[in-house]
Amino acid sequence: MTVRKVLRMGDTRLSRVASEVTSFDTTELHQLVEDMLDTMQAENGAGLAAPQIGVDARVVVFEVADNPRYPEAESVPRTILINPVITPLDEEMQAGWEGCLSVPGMRGVVPRHRRIRYAGYTVAGDRIERVASDFHARVVQHECDHLDGILYPQRVVDFSLFGFIDELAASGHFEPSPCDDPPE
């Protein structure tokens, strides 16, 4: 098990457009994905993108399963998605709170497409295609943004809804849960 250091906002490696993966089922790719899953689990995140551990590759992982922080969220099976492509299914946008392991201690409200289709590849190179909505769709859009060098604060529209978790909670913006770790 290798938990890697998560880069924080301001590190230029988070701002790069990541490179496509061209070789599947390699030792390197398996190792990268294992490290990403270990890191995501250790940090209690809902997802992680390869650039967050300093790796220039279009690889994301995510999982939402019985997380007490998101009691109303549908569970999302542990997914490894390589070279992902997102297609919005309609024009509807939905505002929701996000956090990021690369922006620790903060939350912000970000508009995302409510319904998307996403496609990509597994580590073995098999194609994945799914339709997702609400929190599931939000997590995928957040993680894939990392591959284009975009962190969620760049998507915040109303900066009165962006700040430190404890301050936002103190001002009644949202209820922090007992295990209030960054979700993504």
**Active-site positions?**
143
Q: For the chain, where are the alpha helices, taking DSSP H only?
A: 27-42, 134-147, 165-170
Q: Based on CB atoms, which residue is closest to Ni ion, 24 or 96?
A: 96
If we measure between CA atoms, which residue out of 124, 179, 151, 157 comes closest to residue 16? 151
Give the span between the Cα atoms of 107 and 182, in whole angstroms.
8
Residue 143 beta carbon to Ni ion: minimum distance, rounded to whole angstroms: 7
User: What are the residues whose beta carbons fall under 8 Å from the beta carbon of 159, sequence distance 6 or more?
Assistant: none
Residue 184 beta carbon to Ni ion: minimum distance, rounded to whole angstroms: 4
Phi and psi at 84, nearest 5°, equal: -70, 150
Interaction of residue 184 with Ni ion, rule CB under 5 A: yes
Give the span between the Cα atoms of 148 and 127, in whole angstroms.
21
Q: Based on CB atoms, which residue is closest to Ni ion, 45 or 120?
A: 45
Interaction of residue 36 with Ni ion, rule CB under 5 A: no
Interaction of residue 80 with Ni ion, rule CB under 5 A: no
Residue 20 beta carbon to Ni ion: minimum distance, rounded to whole angstroms: 20
C-beta nearest to Ni ion: residue: 100
Choose, by CB under 5 A, the member of 57, 82, 100, 110 that binds Ni ion: 100
Q: Can you point out the beta strands (E) in the chain?
A: 47-49, 59-64, 76-88, 93-100, 103-113, 115-121, 127-133, 162-164
Interaction of residue 86 with Ni ion, rule CB under 5 A: no
Q: Based on CB atoms, which residue is closest to Ni ion, 108 or 120?
A: 108
Q: Of 93-101, 120-128, 131-139, 172-180, which segment contacts Ni ion by CB under 5 A?
A: 93-101
Site residues, Ni ion (CB under 5 A): 100, 184
